[in-house]
Amino acid sequence: MIPTKTARRAAAVLVVPALLFTAACGSDSKDDAAPKKSGPVAEVSGKFGAEPEIEVPKDAKVAGDVVVGDVSTGDGAEVKKGDIVRLDFAGNIEALGSTWAQRQGADPKAPRAQVVQEVGQQGQMLPTKVADALAGRKVGSRVQVEGTAEAIVGEQLNPQSGIKPTDPLVWVVDIVNAKKVDKKGEAKGAQAASEAGMPEVKAASQKAATITIPKGEKAPKDLREQVLIKGDGATVKAGEGLVVQYTGVKWEDGKKFDSSWDHGGASAFPIGVGGVISGWDKGLVGKHVGDRVLLAIPPNQAYGADPSSQLAKNNLVFVVDILGTV
């Protein structure tokens, strides 16, 4: 796992195939023509839900465009642009990454970390053109996306990767789940007063929460959590995609360092699988859809393990509205 804790959304610890990309995944190419939907040349074996085997025949000529096809077709809902999808994927070369690879130090009995990404938006794990190719496919489908490195990655192809623009790249993607998300959603209901020693929260509608650190109060040495609004939705389980609104401030000075409201609204992350800081994994698994949760997180459960992070020494406070799971 590559713990990129300086990502725009500071709560996330996302796995980025750095050998392939020079920046965020996806191409800056202005050619947004719809992907072709037939003609993949790579040979894929294996069933949905199991790690696929991918082979590109030596004499195969991969198209210079993005080519898409169903290896197998599911019977779930149709994926639409703007949906949050949870998925597994594997690539034909190591540089593309894979959700099937066991993360170093991960509990082998724990759920695997899958990709949670919005279709139609630039992502951290899959190039935009690969994620966009899932629109119109059905949940439960295994989808094959291929093309040259130039066609899929474009100008963001890392010259140090050893991959040539004409080299074939293949992604095999299992669409595990998908859900439409209200980007402006928020927790509803009467908000409880903060417990003694915890920050005060004022959450105006459609805005980042205002979080006030109690004067003279030291930050908790251990994770501390409080449900401010109790929702009546499903219980959050490890391995799911979690859709949230959030605001984060530093305990030391009370200054905001990040909020989903500053990035267009609701964000989605894998939860309970090491895909976010451990304070989120520990504090949000077991909560309910509709909850508003206040978290006070010490450095060792936030960014303390990453000395390069500007927040490495900070105690953090988050207010998180749980909007849904995928």
Other residues' Cβ atoms within 10 Å of the Cβ of residue 221: 9
Summarize pLDDT for 28-75 with one digit per residue, the tens: 444 444 444 446 899 999 999 999 999 999 888 888 899 999 999 999
Cβ atoms of 322 and 253 closer than 8 Å: no
Cβ atoms of 87 and 48 closer than 8 Å: no
- 60-72 in b/e form (b: 16+ CB < 10 A) is eebbebbbbbebe
- Three-class SS of residue 249? strand
Mean pLDDT rounded to a whole number for the chain: 88
Q: Is the pLDDT of residue 8 over 80?
A: no
Q: Is the pLDDT of residue 13 over 80?
A: no
pLDDT recorded at residue 9 = 42
Between residues 107 and 230, the one the model is more confident about: 230
Q: Where are the alpha helices (DSSP H) in the chain?
A: 128-132, 149-152, 278-284
pLDDT recorded at residue 124 = 64
DSSP state of 262: G
Summarize pLDDT for 275-323 with one digit per residue, the tens: 899 999 999 999 999 999 999 999 999 999 888 999 999 999 999 999 9
Q: What is the DSSP string of 145-198?
A: EEEEHHHHTGGGB-GGG---TTSEEEEEEEEEEEE---TT----SPPPPPPTTS
